[in-house]
Amino acid sequence: SNTEIISGEHTICTPGTIDSHIHFISPQQAIDAICNGITTMIGGGTGPADGTNATTCTPGEWNIHKMIEAVEEYPLNFGFLCKGNDSLEEALLEQVKAGACGLKLHEDWGTTPATINSALNVADKTDTQVAIHTDTLNECGYVDDTIKAIAGRTIHTYHTEGAGGGHAPDIMKIAGEANILPSSTNPTRPYTVNTLQEHLDMMMVCHHLNPSVPEDVSFAESRIRAETIAAEDVLHD
């Protein structure tokens, strides 16, 4: 008595899609998602905060509870990633028990081999997932150090082409590992005539960098590599 029939002639009907990389900055995102066929949103954040803009993490029990409450009215599926950067497991376990569906490691909070190992240990204990944004500047280790810390366990790598962040210049190597699930984001897909030109400004804004500081500009430029972005297109094909 509560269902409706919708005519599907001359249309292509598909299951609802999953967006696994959401910065939860605004309720309007849920409306935009469902209007575009997205029925599951996975990511992190607390609203229009600097941490949300940059890192897709919902940090701490209180924030996780509040975000779960905030999306109750929407006819969508939501999954929140807690902040996974902690070399000790106690705080990570607390966030999973609060309702996080997974842990997000981000370079802005220090994605060290110790934090990678800690997050994956908690994921194994709680049957949850880990997503990782690796260390662009290689301050905490190189791509081989990250692969060693992952130790064959299953993990979802963001920005595997490197433009959104990750070990420069060879994060793409990680796509060849057996249990690593690489992903892309729409700034580099598809690779077209303006992709490279648009990236620098976007990078400066999203990561709160100062165009007057040469080191900030160099950091942003180190991420934008035409070769790996082009390779990403080929690998998707």
**Angle at alpha carbon of residue 36, lines to 33 and 30, rounded to 5°:** 15
Enclosing H/E stretch for 216 = helix 214-223
Residue 125 structure tokens: 């204990």
98, with CB counted inside 10 A (0-12, 13-18, 19+), is middle
Tally of CB atoms within 10 A around 82: 28
- Whether 207 is catalytic: yes
Residue 43 structure tokens: 């990511």
149-184 burial: b if 16+ Cβ within 10 Å, else e:
bbeebebbbbbbbbbbbbbbbebbebbeeeebebeb
CA within 13 Å, CB half, 180: 24
| Given 23, 65, 207, 208, the catalytic residue | 207
128, with CB counted inside 10 A (0-12, 13-18, 19+), is buried
Among all residues, which ones are annotated catalytic? 207
